[in-house]
Amino acid sequence: MKNSKSLVIGLSLAMFFVFVQQVSAFIQTDPYLSKEFTLSGKGNLEVETSGASVAVTGGSGNQVKVDMFVKRNGKEIGSTDAEVEKLLENYILDISKNGNTISLRVKNKSSDSWRNGNNLSLSFKIQAPIEISSQFQSSGGSISIENLNGTQQISTSGGSIRVVNSSGTVTSKSSGGSFSLTDFDGQVEAQSSGGAVKIADLRGSVSVNTSGGSVTLEDITGKITASTSGGSIRAKLLAVEEDLSFRSSGGSISAEVPAGLGLNLDLRGGRVNTQFSNFDGEIKKDLIVGKMNGGGPLISMQSSGGSINLEFMD
């Protein structure tokens, strides 16, 4: 009986410590460093980082607030620490304002700070006017943009890119990280050398080109051009009002569109699968070209070896 009670107490304590750790993960400590600036009219944000993650959120007013968070060996440092200050000397760190442009530049001078367990991890949270435009250059850290209405230019060597609840223009180039965009009005151009691309709930135009990652497009209204050198393409569209073009050098392509539309079809692949009525054109195992319901916007789906699947939703 005594052993059973000890076991129960031990399990209870273990569960308690797990709970404390989970709660602690959601508690955000105060920033290690904060700076605030005032803009006059629409401003510009220039960010250049090496490994640090950056999250930008748009809001009202003309203030820009930059918060820097520091972790050492995975533990967040919430106040000035003499040893951490010494390690930060290994970084080029510039947070400044020139005219109506806010600059954030952070770069590790050497690899010394990553030795002997003394590694630091830097991240930044930026609150900015909703109309601000930005240019990002990242060597690996993640980038997050939320509630911004402007022109956003993003270039990263590997970190993930996330855009949420925004509008305007987004141009993104990634050497490997994933690209995710949700709830957007405007024009999007995304290029990736390998990361997956997922775009959902967009009204405007989309151009996607990836060298290997998969492409997922959901609930999009507007013009779409998507191509991949090896990954698959999957699209679910609320409407087809402009021409759509999907290309893959080997992966499969699948699309769902509303039924009853007038469309021009050009479907070519290892095998083409679809069911429709009121069609006038050429139908083969690996090719369907012609007009449906009298014709309309063009849906072009072509794969060098993968299958083509076109479904119609009621």
Asked whether 211 and 191 are in contact (CB, 8 A), the reply is no
Q: How confident is the model at residue 243 (pLDDT cuts 50, 70, 90)?
A: very high
Domain spans of the chain? 27-139, 178-314
H or E segment to which residue 15 belongs: helix 2-26
Q: How many CB atoms lie within 10 A of CB 82?
A: 6
Asked whether 217 and 224 are in contact (CB, 8 A), the reply is yes
Percent of the chain residues past pLDDT 90, beyond the cut? 67
Distance CA 217, CA 241 (A): 16
- Tell me which of 41 and 106 has the higher pLDDT: 106
pTM, full prediction: 0.85
Asked whether 177 and 163 are in contact (CB, 8 A), the reply is no
Name the residue type at position 173: K
Asked whether 106 and 122 are in contact (CB, 8 A), the reply is yes
Place of tokens 């409407």: 239
Distance CA 286, CA 303 (A): 10
Count of CA atoms in the C-beta half-sphere (13 A) of 178? 9
Name the residue type at position 23: V
The string over 246-272, giving b where at least 16 C-beta atoms fall within 10 Å of a residue's C-beta and e elsewhere, is bbbbebbbbbbbeeeeebbbebbbeeb
Asked whether 117 and 58 are in contact (CB, 8 A), the reply is no
DSSP class of residue 213 equals S
Q: Any residues with CB less than 8 A from the CB of 56 and at least 6 apart, and which?
A: 45, 126, 128, 134, 144, 145, 146, 148
Tens-place pLDDT, residues 77-130: 877 678 888 888 889 999 999 999 999 999 888 754 444 445 788 999 999 999
Both tokens assigned to 145: 């943009």
Maximum mean pLDDT: which of 19-23, 75-79, 135-139: 135-139
Asked whether 88 and 60 are in contact (CB, 8 A), the reply is no
Quick one: how many helices (H) and strands (E) in the chain?
Answer: 2, 24
Q: Residue 118: its pLDDT value, please?
A: 56
Tens-place pLDDT, residues 152-177: 999 998 889 999 999 999 999 998 78
Q: Is 10 helix (H, G, I), strand (E, B) or coil?
A: helix
